[in-house]
Structures are given as structure tokens and as C-alpha cells.
Structure 1
């Protein structure tokens, strides 16, 4: 009976394992998205740093007002792009955290089901062992005893 309970749970375990696999794939996807967003942010910040260094180098030789206005406008646009990329990174990190929680829940569900199935299997094994022992005891009682004096 306990073995059949374990067998009846097999489709449920399979579904839970598929859900956990899907959760792992989502987790990997969002990890990749975070890595891309971090890389883009680092590129933008490095570009801004290089652009500011260009200002220092060029500014030491004197610049026109038009160049200065262009520099400030571009630097403002670059700051906006960096802010937007930071927001994008936060958004991706939130998605990653949600995916991580979803995977942890799916993993815990699978592990719980596996433990339950194992418990049912162990229980069936114990019951079978008891049944065999009872049969052996009954058989041994039926055998004629040989008393040796």
C-alpha cells in the first residue's frame, strides 16, 4: 500500500521537477540580464570618466564657449543615460531576486516531495520486512521440533 502511495506521487514529483527546472532557467536568464546591465553601466561610467579626462586635457589649453556648452550638454545626456541604466539594473536585480525566491520555493517543494516519497518507500519496506518475519515465525512454529536427548 505504501509503495503504491509512492508510485501515485511520481507524476506530482515529475511536475514539481519540471517547475523547478523552469525556475532554474528563469534564474539563469535574469542573472544574465543583471550581468549585461552591470556591464552597460560600467561602460557608461567609464565613458563619462574618459570624457571628463578629455575635458581636463582640452581645458588646460583653453576652449571656446561653444565647445564648453556642447561638453556640458553631452555630459548631462550621459548622466541621464547612466541614471536610466542604474534604474534598469535595479529593475533587473529585482527580477533576479524574484526568480531566486521562485526557484528556492520550487526546490523546496521538490525536496519535500522526494522526502515524502522516500518515507513511503521506507515504510513499505518496513511493512514488507515485518510481513516476511511474521511468515517465517509462523513457518518455524509449524515445523516439527526435533528434541535431541
Structure 2
């Protein structure tokens, strides 16, 4: 199971999605289902079938978001984190070959649709926790063992 941590920005984004689904999208799809049902034979009515399926998807996502938001712990920036890698940090690393990467260590619910976020549960994030600038980081994955160096640590305040 994913660690139930989330940044303040990620939590607000999930709350906005929940609100949008509940107040905007669900009422519109419900209206379309009602309209399509009034046309008669539902078994051959593509509008009815599609919108009924979409309504189930919305309801499933609403249930997930409500349950997930209740179980998440929001982690805000604290000045004691400065200089070390902790949850919510933007980290820049460099390999021995000169390849650089920059990403934010975030919660499981925040990494989707973001190529610059990694999960706190990933091998890279686990290896980086509590490291400082210029520290060597050894990351063990199924693909092998990789060595990186921390070049920069930033926090959104």
C-alpha cells in the first residue's frame, strides 16, 4: 500500500477534482441519462448506455477520492527540513556520466500525469531521504545499482 502522505498542493488538487466531479460533471451526466432514458428503448440507445457508463465511472472516482482524502496526511514545509531531502523536496541529482534529473518527492496520488514527480515509495526517493547536497546516493533497482550525487535541494514554502 502506498504511504498516505500528500503535499498541500496535491491535496488541494484532489479536493478540486472531487468538487468538480460532484458539482459540475455528475449533474450534467445525470441530466443526459435522464434525457436519454426518456427517449424510449434503452437497450439500443447509445446516449443512454454511454452516459450511464460515464456516471458509474464518476461515482467510482468520487467514492475513491472521498475515501482517499480522509486517509491522507498533508505534509507542509517546515524550516527544519532545509538542507536535507525530505517529503515535498525538489531535488536535482547528477550521475557520474553527467546526466542530470530534477524532480519532486511527492505522494502516490500526485505522481500521475506528472513526469517531474516521483513517489516517496520509489527506490530513488527512499535512497534520497535525509541526504544533503554533495552526498552520494546509491539506488538499487531491478535494473541494477546506480550512483547519483545530490546537487540541489529546494522546497516550496
Same fold (TM over 0.5): no
TM-score when scaled to structure 1?
Answer: 0.38
The structure whose residues are more often strand, as a share, is 2
More helix by share: 1
Larger Rg: 1
